Amino acid sequence: MASTNIIRLKLLIDSKSRRVLFAEASKDFVDFLFNLLSLPVGTVIRLLTKKGMVGCLGNLYDSIEKLTDTYMQPNLKKDALLNPKIPNTHLSVPLLLPPSIKSSTRKFYKCAYYNNYYSNCGAYVADDPRAICPDCKTVMSCEASYVAPPVEDIASSSKEGGFVKGVVTYMLMDDLVVIPMSTISSITMLKKFNIKDVGVLEEKVVNFGMGEGVKLLKASLQSKTVLTDVFLGPNGRKRKWK
């Protein structure tokens, strides 16, 4: 389980062409990357800001914000689209994005007469406290408690948590292709990049935190050279290497 908000990455840089060839990434970083696929679109737009979005999704988000509740279905809230909740998960991934996207437990509601022996009210559950019980026509405003499965059951297959195993280091390409790292794969990549003079190669260890997490999320939607853009872009060139 990752408890830190900073992850260290080792980059292999072609100093001549000023590009990141690949990075050596730990399990924690790969878990973070894979977890990006679970983010709702509304969350991504909010993280990157509407003006920072490519295309028209920012306009769609802005339209929903400006639309009054008069035009929305009475059982729906705009917040479900603008600020969607990420379902709770037993997966443990590094917290490398702002806390505004933390997961939250979904609430459920039942009829106040759910334990009435002479009714079927107990057979129904809703996710909106304004819902009407199909059996007795009463508002279902009685909050129900969600019971999660035992931890030993959901985590029985692995004590590590996350998505990938931590027994190996992973090679992360500039375009975010992820493969298990090996000596053979490294040599193959150098040949692929047509590196004839190893003297142009530089190894740099960088810290990756929340700021870089948001930059990577944005770059991944716009570019095929994500690592280069994040670490060697206009701001990255001035970075103090550690």
Residues 140 and 184 in one domain: no
Residues 201 and 158 in one domain: yes
Tell me which residues of the chain have a pLDDT lower than 50: 1-3, 101-103, 154-156, 235-242
* pLDDT confidence of residue 238: 43
Residues 185 and 231 in one domain: yes
Note whether residue 58 is domain-resident. Answer: no
* pLDDT confidence of residue 105: 61
**Pairing assessment for the beta strands 201-208 and 142-144 based on DSSP bridges:** unpaired
Note the pLDDT tens digit of each residue in 163-187.
888 889 999 999 999 999 988 878 8
Residues 118 and 154 in one domain: no
Residues 198 and 113 in one domain: no
Residues 122 and 35 in one domain: no
Separation CA 23–CA 13 (nearest Å)? 9
Contact 114, 23 (CB under 8 A): no
* pLDDT confidence of residue 7: 92
Residue whose pair of structure tokens reads 């490294």 in the numeric block? 186
The total of structural domains in the chain comes to 2
pTM of structure: 0.70
* pLDDT confidence of residue 87: 57
* pLDDT confidence of residue 38: 84
* pLDDT confidence of residue 182: 87
Q: 3-class secondary structure for 28-59? A: HHHHHHHHHHHCCHHHHHHHHCHHHCCCCHHH
Residues 186 and 223 in one domain: yes
Length of the chain: 242
Separation CA 137–CA 131 (nearest Å)? 9
* Residues with Cβ within 8 Å of residue 157, at least 6 apart in sequence: none
Provide the domain limits for residue 220.
7-39+86-103+150-238
